[in-house]
Structure 1
Amino acid sequence: MSSSDIFIGETIGTAILILLGGGVCAAVTLKASKARNAGWLAIAFGWGFAVLTAVYTSAPLSGAHLNPAVTLALALKDGGWSDVPVYWGGQLLGAMIGATLVWVAYYGQFHAHLTDSEIVGGPGAQDTKAAEAREAQAGPVLGIFSTGPEIRHAVMNLATEVIGTVVLVLAVLTQGLNDQGNGLGTLGALITALVVVAVGLSLGGPTGYAINPARDLGPRIVHALLPLPNKGGSDWSYAWIPVVGPLIGGAVAAGIYNVAFA
């Protein structure tokens, strides 16, 4: 496959991934959404179906990595490094496009949510220095775009992301690849989607399970750039963890695969 096919496939696939994954987060979070407060099950299954749709759509073009940690693991497994920058570039661009489309699709809900006095401040809202500090750290809709920890501890948060990514990437590496050997086959796509649901349900509680650097970084950049009223901070002090943790996890998974399965 050509570099242009890879870039286009990863851009389209990752955009779909983030549109549907970020979309379920918006549906559950935002005021005036019919799915508001649907809960963690909806988010976990929404992200799983997002992976399934994105993989089936982009696999013919790029092999549907959709995740820099998967690309890194496959490069470590097979020694093919020449296309890694192309994959990563398409994944980051696609994640940013998908996050922007979530904002477009939920434009009215974003406005209603971020102008509600009970959410962003006013009578009845907490008005303390601690609340203001938390708001600067992570705004009221940042969770729609990117992840954040329930307990902020760099080592614990990093470990959680590493562990979750190892599970995901090891599952990818041990599934049947497509005919070109560079991405998931049909059965592998379905199994991987279910693994994403399992990771979300079992390991997503501490950090929100980024398990994908592009999934977190691209939408976080979009959150910082979008003209959202009262959006608060983008929590850049935490942003390195959902990038570095999954990359470490991908490398560890590749090491386990090469030792135990190759």
Structure 2
Amino acid sequence: MNNPVFGEFFGTVVLILFGSGVGCSTSLKGALGKNAGSNWLYVAFGWGVAVMLGVLSSGYFGSPGHLNPAVTIGFAVAGSLEFSSVIPFIIAQVAGAFVGALIAAIHFWPHFQATTVEEGNSVGIFATGPAIENTPFNLISEIIATCFFVLAIQLMPADIPPGLQPLILVFVLVGIGLSLGSTTGYAINPCRDFGPRLMYALIPIPNKGSANWGYAWIPIVGPIVGACIATLLVKALS
């Protein structure tokens, strides 16, 4: 089936379902992941696998597997994607992120019912936030992390077998999470943050806290800027 826009939607559903599932497992009362004493490695590796599964799922529909507006914009700036595809891809990615987060919320609904804000029922399950609130440096963190994420994608050798690329992405994401991710939660993807944050705000999840919209622009602007810088660097070095 060749439908790249649907592929971007479905792949992002898979990405966010598994990624948000990590957030639910590590934050909600009664979840075995939280009871087992999950840690940052658990989170970083879980999100890395989520990206791999999303990319593999999207490929079935002929999608390039961006699953990320920043990557889509970066590839358009690089000339590797028609600009006419940018808006449809981004709409599909945001919608997929919303749906993926909603499915995760339904899956863990009894745990939301059992968990108060003080016990971990917060928007941080689905979206990112700063470890230390400092707007300029929070923005810089997202720019740097996304820049090097996109550089890793665009500088990936062309002779790597296509089926191996998603597996390599796992280690790229785990590496970024472990090294650069603990300042802001490494959104590095506007739809990965915005879609789930919107879902958390709109759906009547039991005992939920604030969606923290005051921070929401940073994981949108930062990744887009970072992706564009990476693309321009690659073009300059080429």
Instruction: Using structure 1 for the length normalisation, give the TM-score.
Output: 0.85
Q: Decide whether the 8 Å contact of 1:177 with 1:188 is kept in 2.
A: no
Q: Decide whether the 8 Å contact of 1:177 with 1:185 is kept in 2.
A: no
Q: Decide whether the 8 Å contact of 2:15 with 2:50 is kept in 1.
A: yes
1:177 CA drift (Å): 6.0
Q: Decide whether the 8 Å contact of 1:69 with 1:247 is kept in 2.
A: yes
Q: Decide whether the 8 Å contact of 1:72 with 1:251 is kept in 2.
A: yes
The reply on whether 1:195 has 2:195 as its aligned counterpart is: no
Which whole-Å deviations, capped at 9, do the CAs of 1:198-241 have from their partners, x for residues lacking one? 11101111100000000000000000011123312111110000
What's 1:186 paired with? 163
Of the three residues 21, 26, 29, the one matched with 1:28 is 26
What's 2:92 paired with? 90
Give me the whole-angstrom Cα distance separating, in 1, the residues matched to 2:207 and 2:44.
27
What's 1:134 paired with? none
Of the three residues 106, 109, 126, the one matched with 1:107 is 109
State the one-letter code of the partner of 1:219.
Answer: P
Give me the whole-angstrom Cα distance separating, in 2, the residues matched to 1:146 and 1:169.
20
Give me the whole-angstrom Cα distance separating, in 2, the residues matched to 1:176 and 1:25.
33
Paired residues in the alignment total: 234
State the one-letter code of the partner of 1:101.
Answer: I
What's 2:194 paired with? 217
Q: Show structure 1 runs of 4+ deviating over 4 A.
A: none
Quote the sequence identity (%): 42
Give me the whole-angstrom Cα distance separating, in 2, the residues matched to 1:165 and 1:112.
35
Instruction: Using structure 2 for the length normalisation, give the TM-score.
Output: 0.93
Give me the whole-angstrom Cα distance separating, in 1, the residues matched to 2:228 and 2:140.
14
Q: What is the 5 A alignment of 1:155-166?
A: 155-166=136-147
Give me the whole-angstrom Cα distance separating, in 2, the residues matched to 1:89 and 1:65.
13
What's 1:38 paired with? 38
Of the three residues 230, 237, 240, the one matched with 2:207 is 230
Give me the whole-angstrom Cα distance separating, in 2, the residues matched to 1:191 and 1:174.
12
Cα gap change, 1:66/1:177 in structure 2, threshold over 3 Å: closer, same or farther?
farther
Give me the whole-angstrom Cα distance separating, in 2, the residues matched to 1:232 and 1:24.
19
Q: Decide whether the 8 Å contact of 2:55 with 2:166 is kept in 1.
A: yes
Where structure 1 has 5 or more consecutive residues not aligned to the other structure, the ranges are: 121-138, 179-183
Q: Decide whether the 8 Å contact of 2:23 with 2:43 is kept in 1.
A: yes
Give me the whole-angstrom Cα distance separating, in 2, the residues matched to 1:198 and 1:214.
21
State the one-letter code of the partner of 1:31.
Answer: K
State the one-letter code of the partner of 1:91.
Answer: Q
Q: Decide whether the 8 Å contact of 2:128 with 2:186 is kept in 1.
A: yes
Which whole-Å deviations, capped at 9, do the CAs of 1:148-180 have from their partners, x for residues lacking one? 0011111000000000001111111122569xx
Which whole-Å deviations, capped at 9, do the CAs of 1:74-125 have from their partners, x for residues lacking one? 10111621100111011000000000011011111111113x8xx36xxxxx
State the one-letter code of the partner of 2:39.
Answer: G
Give me the whole-angstrom Cα distance separating, in 1, the residues matched to 2:77 and 2:212.
31
Q: Decide whether the 8 Å contact of 2:115 with 2:207 is kept in 1.
A: no
Where structure 2 has 5 or more consecutive residues not aligned to the other structure, the ranges are: none
Which whole-Å deviations, capped at 9, do the CAs of 1:22-46 have from their partners, x for residues lacking one? 1011101110101103111110000
